[in-house]
Amino acid sequence: MPQPDVLISEVGPRDGLQSVHATMPTADKLRWIDALYAAGVREIEVASFVPARLLPQMADAAEVVRHAVSLPGLTVMALVPNRRGAEAALAAGVHKLTVPVSASEAHSLANVRKTRAQMVEEVRAIAELRRSLAPQVGFEAGLSTAFGCTLQGEVPEDEVIRLAVQCIEAGADEAGLSDTVGYANPAQVRRLFRRLRAELGDKAGAAHMHNTRGLGLANCLAAHDEGVRTFDASLGGLGGCPYAPGASGNVVTEDLVFMFEAMGVRTGIDLPQLIAARAPLMAGLPGEPVYGMTPEAGLPKGFRP
């Protein structure tokens, strides 16, 4: 079996589920993760380790991780906002940690009540913990609001790059860029990822794009043109952006996989099985809107990935 050309990292079970009001029952989460795995998805962000009183949707994080790590060849990832979260995630057995570091100072203070500099120190603390407890575990910093922020507007590109460098110096393996509020456009994505890759080389991480203003796929393609090979996406676009009522949030995994496969870029994912993975998602969150052009239209006649 040839190696995929790109890695599609499914973030729905974390980013999607913590963005909706309803809490998906644990059994449905596990069925959904199994269906994603059966479709060929090989990296899934399954949970975030935060206090259950803040995010009841993630109260079963350790149980979900324990199930996911039993699936051979799956990289099980969890989001951790601080050292305490990292301790819990490592104890549960995750393969990869991701910490959100906001490129916007205003967003950082509103979101985690810490400055950017304090978050870099949090990255350092998590890196030291990882080194002492589980050096084999991956560790990524995701720079949220890297392309703009609803609170402060423009986020200077020099500050984004400087923060990415600081995260790597603090001990993260890689630093990726997130369009948290859907402000990015393809020219900006090309420019910023070109700078990031020039600065960090192979430590430049994933593209996490949102489809809030309809540019999610175009922005992923722009990032791919600049050499990015890991893309975050959410099945059914789950996780509608709270800043744009009626707009889908994350890039739709099904549409992203279709785009790449139609171009001859191998994802390693079986599209009909991926579309079938919507069933356990919808069963676990009845009434929650799901998005996606490809599942609605079906695959073109004679389509060969």
pLDDT given at position 36: 98
Does residue 31 fall inside a structural domain?
Answer: yes
Q: Which phi and psi (to 5°) does residue 9 adopt? A: -100, 115
Does residue 163 fall inside a structural domain?
Answer: yes
Its pTM stands at: 0.96
Residue 179 in 3-state DSSP? coil
CATH of the domain at 124: 3.20.20.70
pLDDT given at position 245: 53
**Cα gap 13→28, rounded to integer Å:** 11
Does residue 28 fall inside a structural domain?
Answer: yes
**Cα gap 207→193, rounded to integer Å:** 9
pLDDT given at position 239: 82
pLDDT given at position 110: 87
- Residue 145: closest CA among 123, 164, 125, 121: 164
Does residue 245 fall inside a structural domain?
Answer: yes
Does residue 2 fall inside a structural domain?
Answer: no
Q: How does pLDDT run across 240-264, given as a tens digit for each residue? A: 655 555 556 899 999 999 999 999 9
CB 26 within 8 A of CB 60: yes
Taking 50 as the pLDDT cut, the residues of the chain under it are: none
Does residue 305 fall inside a structural domain?
Answer: no
- In the chain, which ranges are E strands? 7-10, 43-48, 75-79, 96-102, 138-144, 174-178, 204-208, 230-233
Inter-CA distances, 296 with 130, 255, 290, Å: 43, 10, 11
For 284, residues 6+ apart whose C-beta sits below 8 A from its C-beta are: 24, 25, 28, 29, 31, 32
Does residue 302 fall inside a structural domain?
Answer: no
Give the range of the structural domain holding residue 66, as residue numbers without chain letter: 7-297
CB 160 within 8 A of CB 143: yes
Residue found by looking up tokens 């739709």 in the block: 252
pLDDT given at position 283: 98
From the list 149, 167, 220, 241, the catalytic residue is 241
Q: How many domains does the chain have?
A: 1
Q: Cβ–Cβ contacts within 10 Å for residue 240, how many? A: 23
- Residue 94: closest CA among 67, 129, 121: 67
pLDDT given at position 305: 85
Does residue 107 fall inside a structural domain?
Answer: yes
CB 211 within 8 A of CB 204: no
**Cα gap 232→258, rounded to integer Å:** 14
**Cα gap 103→256, rounded to integer Å:** 25
**Cα gap 6→133, rounded to integer Å:** 30
Catalytic, 149? Answer no
